[in-house]
Amino acid sequence: MAALTVGAATLPLAAKSEDALRFDPQAFTQQSLTMPDGQQVNYKAYEGIFYVRNVEDSTYQTLNIYVPEKLADIPAVPVFLRTYVGGYAASTAKSPSPADATGRALKEGYVVCIPGSRGSNSTIVRDGQTIYTGTAPNGLLDLKAAVRYLRYNDDLIPGSSELIFTDGTSAGGAMSSLLGATGNAKDYEPMLKKMGAADVRDDVFAAICYCPITDLNHADMEYEWLYGCTNTGVRALSNAQIVISDELAAECPAYINSLGLKMSDGTPVTADNYKEYLKTFLIASAHKALQEGCEIPDTIGFSFYQDQSGPMGAGPAPAGRRGTRPQIGDGRNAPSFGPGNMPRFNKTSDFVTGLDLDKYLSYVASVTPLKTPPAFDQMGVLIDTPSPENNVFGNEKGEAANFTDFSLRHRLGNVKAQLSDDMKFRVAVMNPMNYIGSDKSTVAQNWYIRHGAKDRDTSFLVPLNLATKLQNAGKNVDFFLPWNRPHSGDYNLDDLFAWIAGLVR
């Protein structure tokens, strides 16, 4: 079937048939990239393809597909869908890079898809008016439409649309988590239909989420509940900020308890034991780093096993630090997070014996200054400046908006103010937590979630709750807090691609 790619949106209405979404296997250019090891990877590049019939924003609503010359020699080749969304902004369809997972995926013989998507700053001019096109959930809808495009053309695009791996970092990690959590959910259906997305399923096989900035409507309380211990210390908040921090933190225990999460051994996770639960993951991270030869200062909260005949085999480690070779230990061969395999500190064989969490959080805050409260829905509470999240929840005119009752009430000075039903809906469809463990969607079976052990862009609760909820729902979850990692993504690709290979090879 001849496909209409670039320019389809400008064709007369009569030509906008179902076929406008058909992939043209002949419409490629030959391209290559050179990997860091010098290997040249050749591939066919199919670029600038519109993935919806009713294109509103031709700058962003396109995708690129890259098909390696040497497809992996396996019965079904995965499709690696990488979003470059950052800061909830718009993102154009990009080319693969040897420096990240896209180049690596091509080298592995996997098909790569890089969709663009609208975001907080994308605009078009309509009737002389500037219209913001990427207000939430439009960016997500674009990515879901891209998934549908792949499935709609499964017979024409090499690779299997039943093996789609989504990947993104930060706001892109949030998008990846949403793609993983919201497959086929009815909430999005009318909007996708209006856009002219292909009328096929949009569930995916696996979601790779690096530091997902998600659960936005609870992220403020989670941030203050965790980092409140630093308010009068390294964070040095003003009195007014402390009042807001305390109010937010006070809302968090009820939220934690409402989730009904369980540890892998079935123990309920509550606000009372949450910090001990979190500590097991931070200790697992430090422990792994020590095993990999990293140095960990004595001053950041960890305590160490110091038996003379201890596991290091060389007597007590020198004062000031433990371990030998300095390097980033980011959790390669990390213990996987799956049923019955919770990272647990083993006191007799491991050499991190404990963690003073408050001390460690102060360390994290000393590396990168924390956000001020509220960390996400900040507009109009103590400062007027909108956050990226205020912008993405804004309107077509580009006016930013609050997305929690808490901040709305503070901004309006009205303790009874409430989000509109429309805003509540927009917030709900942007939160993967609403879909996991429900019957509202087809949730991806496989999850790879990473959040750096010194990443303070959101609270550790956000990725940990996501991972735990998925695990509780019976999903295959590989979750780790890689040691010494700040807010970043697509790192430790050997580990990631070993995980992928384990699922598809």
Among residues 18 and 384, whose Cβ is nearest to ligand DHB? 384
233 binds ligand DHB (CB under 6 A): no
CB of 88 to ligand DHB, least distance (A): 6
Residue number, nearest CB to ligand DHB: 170
CB of 173 to ligand DHB, least distance (A): 8
486 binds ligand DHB (CB under 6 A): no
386 binds ligand DHB (CB under 6 A): no
- Tell me the residue type at 23: F
CB of 455 to ligand DHB, least distance (A): 9
388 binds ligand DHB (CB under 6 A): yes
209 binds ligand DHB (CB under 6 A): no
Candidate residues 68, 78, 87, 301; the one interacting with ligand DHB per rule CB under 6 A: 87
253 binds ligand DHB (CB under 6 A): no
Q: What is the DSSP string of 140-205?
A: HHHHHHHHHHHHHTTTTSSS-GGGEEEEEETHHHHHHHHHHH-BT-GGGHHHHHHHTB-SS----S
Residue in the block written with tokens 């008016």: 129
What is the spatial distance between Cα 293 and Cα 5, in angstroms, rounded to a whole number?
A: 51
CB of 213 to ligand DHB, least distance (A): 4
**Burial class of residue 266, CB neighbours in 10 A (0-12, 13-18, 19+):** exposed
Q: Name which of 104, 173, 168 is nearest 498 in CA terms.
A: 104
Token representation of residue 182: 């919201």
What is the spatial distance between Cα 247 and Cα 5, in angstroms, rounded to a whole number?
A: 52
215 binds ligand DHB (CB under 6 A): no
Residue in the block written with tokens 């009874």: 416
Candidate residues 457, 478, 490, 495; the one interacting with ligand DHB per rule CB under 6 A: 457
Among residues 387 and 441, whose Cβ is nearest to ligand DHB? 387
What is the spatial distance between Cα 18 and Cα 24, in angstroms, rounded to a whole number?
A: 14
Name residues contacting ligand DHB, limited to 402-431 (CB under 6 A): none
CB of 329 to ligand DHB, least distance (A): 23
150 binds ligand DHB (CB under 6 A): no
Name residues contacting ligand DHB, limited to 167-206 (CB under 6 A): 170-171
What is the spatial distance between Cα 438 and Cα 244, in angstroms, rounded to a whole number?
A: 33
What is the spatial distance between Cα 238 and Cα 308, in angstroms, rounded to a whole number?
A: 47
Please give the helix or strand (H or E) that residue 66 lies within, else none: strand 62-68
CB of 338 to ligand DHB, least distance (A): 28
**How many residues bind ligand DHB, per CB under 6 A?**
9
76 near 160, Cβ under 8 Å?
A: yes
Q: What residue ranges bind ligand DHB (CB under 6 A)?
A: 86-88, 170-171, 213, 376, 388, 457
